[in-house]
Amino acid sequence: MKLILLKTNLVDALGSVERAVNESSSLPILKHALVKTVGGKILLVGTNLELAIEYSLPGKVIEGGEIAVPFSLFNSLIKNLMAERVAIEEKDRKITITTDNYEAVLQGQDAAEFPIIPSIQKQTPPLLFPTELFRGALQNVIVAAQYSDIRPEISGVYFKCSGRMITLAATDGFRLAEEKINLPPTASSQDTAAIIPLKTASEALKMFKGSEEITVCIEPNQILLSSPNEKIISRLIDGSFPEYHAVIPHHPPHEVTVNRAEFINAVRLASPFSGRANDVIVRLGENKKVLEVYSVDSALGESLYKIPVKGKGERFSIIFNWKYLLDGLKVFSGNEVTLGVTSSDRAVLLQNPKEPNLLYVVMPIKG
């Protein structure tokens, strides 16, 4: 095998594949990445057996072939090179990296030892839609997800496509985030649902930076997300995502709208005074004109922040875990956020009238 590559392209590829390579694996071959040529294309592949990332990078193929390279050594060598172009040649499992004034030889492993990446049958037509919509929604809902030993079915992001609407949702049992994406008429869709493991979802967020469209294929136990030059294949979580629609409050009786940035600031200021349960109190005062964010610690002192409100509502006082509240406030992007309150022991709905497809539900702390 003989290749000539631009260093920057190779660094991008290594950065992407790095996420799938597990340096602490007990199986030595998993500390390697596979470099191979398919036609005139160069592929870099890494896997930890739970997910695999495949990156296709531009370069000149003088002679085809495939070889498994020790990932972390290769990665650090390439990163530190000053040259613009890098030549990589493989002969008898010896990999030679050459630039104008540098040469390194690494011991590679037989490519046949490298795990076979499961193929996607593409029996169902893939979903195709704009990357930014997908990444944006994924970023918004993923804050509510958390790995759970006891409840594997919520340790991921729920992905559902029905008609021309994609729903992403995540919950850790205490809060819930959901965003719906209306597919543009150009996108293709297929009714399907899956639970994407948290790790896969968070890796996918960091990928696909330059691409405009993303393809999603879902099979009974695996998922493929791909752009023209990047692919991530992962297994899915077995199980059924909870029927969460019942916990979303519909038309809560008290709705108050406040400035989002101020609310965030208020929660941040109150947080140092919160106790072990991260508890801060959010209450609508007597005159119903200001929302108070209050917390008190007998040793440290107390903090009170007042934010003017718009909207209808009776007096209420709710205790929140400020981390959950803050996460929720941050998923929105508009200037305002609406707090929908039923009572002090019922779920609270956060919404922004200007972002109707996004919602965040958080459960209060018992008083």
321 Cβ neighbours under 8 A, 6+ residues apart: 174, 277, 278, 279, 362, 365
Contact 250, 226 (CB under 8 A): no
Kindly tell me the burial class for residue 299, based on how many C-beta atoms sit within 10 Å of its own C-beta (0-12, 13-18, 19 or more): exposed
Beta pairing, strands 316-321 & 165-171: unpaired
Span from 13-21, 47-55, 129-137, 260-268 in contact with other proteins (CB under 8 A)? 47-55
Q: How many other CB atoms are found less than 10 A from the CB of residue 133? A: 18
Minimum CB distance to other proteins smaller for 129 or for 316: 316
- The C-alpha atoms of residue 289 and residue 300 are separated, in whole angstroms, by 28
- Report the half-sphere exposure of 92 (CA within 13 A, side-chain side): 0
Residues paired with 350 in a beta bridge: 339, 360
Question: What is the nearest approach in angstroms of other proteins to the Cβ of residue 313?
Answer: 21
* Site residue total, other proteins (CB under 8 A): 54
Q: Which of 38, 49, 261, 300 binds other proteins (CB under 8 A)?
A: 49
Which of the ranges 23-31, 56-64, 67-75, 351-359 carries the binding residues for other proteins, by CB under 8 A?
A: 23-31
147 belongs to the binding site for other proteins (CB under 8 A): yes
265 or 278: CB nearest other proteins? 278
Shortest separation between residue 123's beta carbon and other proteins, angstroms: 15
Does 276 contact other proteins by CB under 8 A? yes
Collect all residues with Cβ–Cβ distance below 8 Å to 331 and sequence separation of at least 6.
Answer: 140, 141, 143, 177, 358, 360
Q: Is 125 in the site for other proteins (CB under 8 A)?
A: no
Among 162, 277, 310, 312, binds other proteins (CB under 8 A): 277
Q: How far is the CB of 9 from other proteins (least distance, A)?
A: 27
What is the widest separation between alpha-carbon atoms in the chain? 81
Site string for other proteins, 315-354 (x = CB under 8 A): ------x-----------------------x-x-------
CA distance 234 to 80: 31
Q: How far is the CB of 116 from other proteins (least distance, A)?
A: 4
Residues of this chain, 219-248, that bind other proteins according to CB under 8 A: 221-222, 234-238, 242, 244, 247
Q: How far is the CB of 366 from other proteins (least distance, A)?
A: 5
Q: Of 133 and 362, which CB lies nearer to other proteins in the complex structure?
A: 362
Among the listed residues 196, 167, 169, the one whose alpha carbon sits nearest the alpha carbon of residue 180: 167
State the nearest-atom distance from the C-beta of 33 to other proteins, in Å: 15
Closest approach, Cβ 348 to other proteins, in A, equals 10
Q: Which of 199, 268, 283, 288 binds other proteins (CB under 8 A)?
A: 199
What angle do helix axes 71-80 and 7-18 make, rounded to 10 degrees?
A: 140
90-98, 130-138, 224-232, 271-279 -> range binding other proteins (CB under 8 A)? 271-279
Q: Give the residue with the Cβ less far from other proteins, 47 or 215.
A: 47
Q: Could you tell me the CA-to-CA distances from 348 to 70, 133, 247, 305, 328 in Å, in that order?
A: 50, 26, 10, 20, 11
Q: What is the DSSP letter of 249?
A: P
Question: Is the CB of residue 62 less than 8 Å from the CB of residue 3?
Answer: yes
Distance CA 165, CA 137 (A): 12
Name the minimum Å distance from CB 145 to other proteins.
11
Query: Among 75, 155, 189, 295, which residue sits at the site for other proteins (rule: CB under 8 A)?
Result: 155
Q: Which of 174, 190, 290, 317 binds other proteins (CB under 8 A)?
A: 174
Are the C-beta atoms of 323 and 237 separated by less than 8 Å? Answer: no
Residues that bind other proteins (CB under 8 A): 25-28, 30, 47, 49-52, 115-118, 146-149, 152, 154-156, 171, 173-176, 197-200, 221-222, 234-238, 242, 244, 247, 276-279, 321, 345, 347, 361-366
